[in-house]
Amino acid sequence: MTILAQLIQSLADSLSALGLPRRDIKLSPPNNPDFGDFATNVALTLAKDAGTPPIQIANDIKDNLDIPTSFIEEVTVTPPGFLNFKIAPAYYYQILSQILTDKYFGRGSSGKGKKANVEFVSANPTGPLTVGHGRNAVLGDTVSNILEWNGYEVTREYYFNDAGRQMRILGESVEARYFEILKKDSAFPEDGYQGSYIKDIAQTILKEKGESLRTSDPIFKEQAEKTIFADIKKSLINLGIHFDQFTNEKTFYENGDIDRFLEELNAKNLIYEKEGATWFRATALGKDQDRVYIKSSGEPTYRVPDTAYHRDKINRGFDLIIDVFGSDHTDAYPDVLLALEALGEKTDNIRVLIYQFVTLLRSGEKVKMSTRKANFVTMDDLVDEVGADVVRYFFIMRGMNTHLNFDLDLAADQSEKNPVFYLQYAHARICNIIKHGKAVGISTNSEYNPTLLDNPAEIRLLKKLEQFPSVVENILQTLEPQAIATYLHDTANFFHKFYAECRVITDDTDLTNARIALVSATRIILANGLGLLGISSPEKM
């Protein structure tokens, strides 16, 4: 248990002993660091109900605290009623030993014995993966890493539709290019896909099948799907992403799942016909308006197959189901959950992560993109230009609910201005220090005296390393990978400041051993954090 968790438990026990109501106890660094490492305003939140001055409540809580005195240097009360805790260096020295002993320091077990499904990317095979898909891909894979780090057995799943309108237009686009190559009349579809990849697929079909194909031959769509999906999988592998399962929307039409759930909704009077379309009676379930389920053209909306798909995932027995969606799904997914609940399904284990879209910037100017007109930057192009590590980091270095400006100039910069290189350089520098230490007879396994680490820069770095388990535990709740990026950047910053103030390899063997232990622990934390982000930890740069 971290010292933070111990303090919260001790405060809760003290409130109980005093007969005070339980509060959501929060501890954070005080505005004035001279007061200590943590402070809480819990006494102020209780004063009104208790009818007692907060300063008196704070002192009463302090007098009833049962805390490990070896790790708490001082507990103080400051006006108007803050409780402050100064943590003893001995606690951080113990943490240093734990990190060096446990190379997976910070790994949780709350997901042990549980199964999770993470569905992400899920782009239909109508073209190469673009930058627009990249944020989804990296978020989904990183969230999967976080779950696995905490003990979950994770299924990474890709859900797609190869039978809808988009795929029909794709086939027609390839067909038009095929006959165009043969110099035969063929109208290009109004909303057709115009990329050069369409012509490449048509060329392949011509080479393999010859010139005798007729219009509406299924080979045009089939070959396009096969070729594009192979390209999508290759692009994902370039980002270090592998899927455990690919699920096709068409499956739920063929196996009768969609017909069954529509019949069940109909039996509950939750669907009806109007103006040639089929509607979901969402207003009967508390929504402002009903939703179109099947258009008058006979084409189902997104909500229909997706409800059947989510029911299938529920039936597969996952303890946690996560969807990673772009902000264009904000209106649709609540209707899916609503229909599932109407069918008697439990949805409290389904979490939907919504992310905002990405704008590419080059020289400060927006790079214009359109998938249909083939004015886009593919993920392969982006990885080729700046590298997979940079791509992954940039896609998660901002909160998912924040629009992301992807600065290509900064991403291509191979100096410490680039936040990825800043982190990796810290790891590589530590590896070089350790290597230099070995050259002069200092081993990472050498006995060391942690009390020699008393420089303020050393203590600051130790305190930052201690936070890693709490950071990861919080992320398991929020599923917001940005917090790892922020933590790693702060850790690297503290390390660089320590390195500037404290020479590691010195003539003082005892001090050198202690500082080698500190930088070795820092390397472990940086490597673990980078690993969670799917980013490499180079030993030299």
Backbone angles phi, psi at 474, to 5 degrees: -65, -40
pLDDT band at 375 (very low <50, low <70, confident <90, very high): low
Residue 282's closest CA among 331, 332, 330, 339?
Answer: 339
* Rg of the Cα atoms in the chain: 29
What span, in angstroms and rounded, lies between the C-alpha atoms of 311 and 206? 42
> Strands 153-160, 115-119: parallel, antiparallel or unpaired by DSSP?
parallel
The first and second tokens of residue 268, run together, are: 């509950």
Same fold, 3-87 and 416-532: no
The first and second tokens of residue 383, run together, are: 């990885």
pLDDT at 407 over 80: yes
pLDDT tens digits, one per residue of 104-131: 999 999 999 999 999 999 999 999 999 9
- Residue 103 amino acid letter: K
- The helix (H) or strand (E) run that includes residue 280 is strand 277-280
Mean pLDDT of the chain: 93
Q: Poorest-confidence range of 46-50, 238-242, 461-465, 511-515? A: 46-50
pLDDT at 438 over 80: yes
The CATH classification number of 3-87 equals 3.30.1360.70
Burial class (CB in 10 A: 0-12, 13-18, 19+), 368: exposed
Strand, helix or coil at 313? helix
127, 220, 239, 373 from 194: Cα distances, Å: 10, 15, 26, 5
- What's the gap between Cα 126 and its chain centre? 26
Structurally, what CATH architecture does the domain formed by 416-532 represent? Orthogonal Bundle (1.10)
pLDDT at 371 over 60: no
The first and second tokens of residue 38, run together, are: 């943590």
For a pLDDT cut of 90, what percent of the chain falls above it?
84
pLDDT tens digits, one per residue of 135-159: 999 999 999 999 999 999 999 999 9
CB atoms within 10 A of CB 128: 22
Q: Where are the domains of the chain?
A: 3-87, 165-238, 416-532
User: Tell me, what's the pLDDT at 173?
Assistant: 96
Helices (H) and strands (E) in the chain, counts: 20, 14
pLDDT at 376 over 80: no
146, 279, 280, 285 from 266: Cα distances, Å: 40, 10, 9, 14
- The helix (H) or strand (E) run that includes residue 324 is strand 320-326
pLDDT tens digits, one per residue of 3-55: 888 899 999 999 999 998 888 899 998 888 889 999 999 999 998 888 899 99
Whether residue 357 contacts residue 366, with contact meaning beta carbons closer than 8 Å, is answered with: no
User: Tell me, what's the pLDDT at 309?
Assistant: 97
User: Tell me, what's the pLDDT at 48?
Assistant: 85
User: Tell me, what's the pLDDT at 426?
Assistant: 97
